[in-house]
Structure 1
Amino acid sequence: MLHSPPLFSRPTPTVSRRASSPLLPLPQSPHYARACSLIGVDCRAGQQALPGGEVLHWQTQSRRMPLLGTVSLLSRGPVASSPVEAEGWLRERRGTGPLLLNADGLSADALRRAGFWPLLTPATLGLLAIGPEAQMRGALRQKWRNRLARAEDAGLTLRRMPLLAKHWLLAAEAAQARARRYRNLPPGMLVAFARANPGCALIWEAQQGRLPVAAIAVLRHGRMASWTTGVSTPRGRAVNAMNLLVWEAMRWLAAQGHELLDLGILNDADAPGVTQFKLGTGARSHRLGGTWLRTRSLAPLARHLPKGLAT
């Protein structure tokens, strides 16, 4: 096990801040592709040079789906500096099979013109800018900051360690997801990510005495990182352990050179407390573009959909 460094230490940054390096969401990252390869999921990626030295990036996964056959899934891509370039790539793409798109940064009108049919309404994510410690602490909402202060005085012991299949967090998260009826990255994918990307899948754990009371898992992928998993026991909630874990992860990731932490979906209807917790970090709400499907047969009809049916 790796013990966390003192709370206010500053490890040497390990992530390049080059402007040419794009902010790639987890499903668009080469780290994710390497994990998919380990579990037998085919991923294909490509880049396209754009004017001004910018690069458009895309990455798809192939899945077998009932009635549709082999479908390419493009999640939160293509990644480009402007929606115009992404829209142009979608219009010009010449794929032989169906394309399922979890859109990000693309308008409904543009997707309809590119021949996509709307399937699911957009979700909203919490995206947290990370950087200087004073700046991050200043962005915390007052209640969140107060709970963090109480957690810092609660005598908790923190440990940071590589994500391993045997850690109690993975089984506890799977049980929590079943009980609360939400979907998350399965433990097998987290373990595959850790195996394929050494040092990029980490767990922060809080203990009271020798008893674990809370833990989170974070995946690092380039300039971005994603908080994918978190469980707190009743004792952990009583001492606000989750606040301290997320804060320590924020500080450590910033010191490593990461710039953006994806906190996952905000769902007020099913988990208002979780949404408030995520936004309390100073994160902004980021609305995705919904789930869309393009097939050769549906594309002509999709281009003539009434605007009200394409949102």
Structure 2
Amino acid sequence: MVGIVEVSPRDGLQNEKTLLETDAKVDLITQAIAAGVTRIESCSFVHPKLVPAMADAEAVMERVPRPAGVSHIGLVLNRRGFDRAVSAGVDEVNVVVPASDTFSERNQNSTTDALTAVAEEVCAEAASTGLPATVTIATSFGCPFEGEVDPDRVVEVARRSAAAGAKEIAIADTIGVGVPTQVRTLLDGVRSVAPDVVLRAHFHNTRNTGFANAVAAYEAGVAWLDSSNGGIGGCPFAPAATGNIATEDLVYLLERMGVPTGLDLEKLIPIAGFLSDQLGYRVPALLPRAGTFPG
């Protein structure tokens, strides 16, 4: 089995031109939970001027359903965001560290080293309060400004994060340039310095390699894969970055391989229609168009 972290309410919506109302976001989260999602990145605690789509994070967290066994994740970039997330009642936090200095500077006006130090502080504080913390290493596979990223930079962020108390480390292909050989190399490197940490992977399908990378990550032993209902998403700080791999397409792929996910395709598929109506365009996911097989 492999777990699915649903990221449409955060990574999916953060780059959309249409800003969904809080009611619609809560509806999206409710539908995902009804389809079997147990971990969902419900919002991010970032400055509203930088990411207006996430300005209502506290309001979303106040109203989301909280059935037993479901964990709401809040993405944070710094200690201020962490404090907001804790006050809002998240079940776990995800702190992002780009492996590229230029991306770090464009995104957070800092450097990889400095942001890793922030992650260390957040992880230590989370560990002291019993709140699970993930460190997502953005631009692990490539940077839109620098090009190739040295895998050693990714591994070093992972090493420091694990030492600081991160319970989970995710490698993220922020701009969708990765291929399966990179997936295996990076996961081997992270595992060598953080053998006891849960591994997770986050792929975008910008160049149509996201699903191949997801299979490679599963075969390399990751416990969790990120995906987004409808395949929506992107990064406001990465030029031309397109959507995440679609949850419904990923679940179909894995289930046909004989890999259970615990999600219900029949309940997942209608979410794409809901998102299309809300966003005003047909979302990228293919399974809602083609249908399951056998029908």
| TM-score, normalized by the shorter chain, greater than 0.5 | no
- Normalising by the residue count of structure 2, what TM-score does the alignment of the two structures yield? 0.33
Higher relative contact order (CA 8 A, sep 6+): 1
Instruction: Flag the structure with larger Rg.
Output: 1
Q: Name the structure where strand makes up a greater proportion of residues.
A: 1
Q: Choose between structure 1 and 2: higher helix proportion.
A: 2
TM-score, reference length from structure 1: 0.32
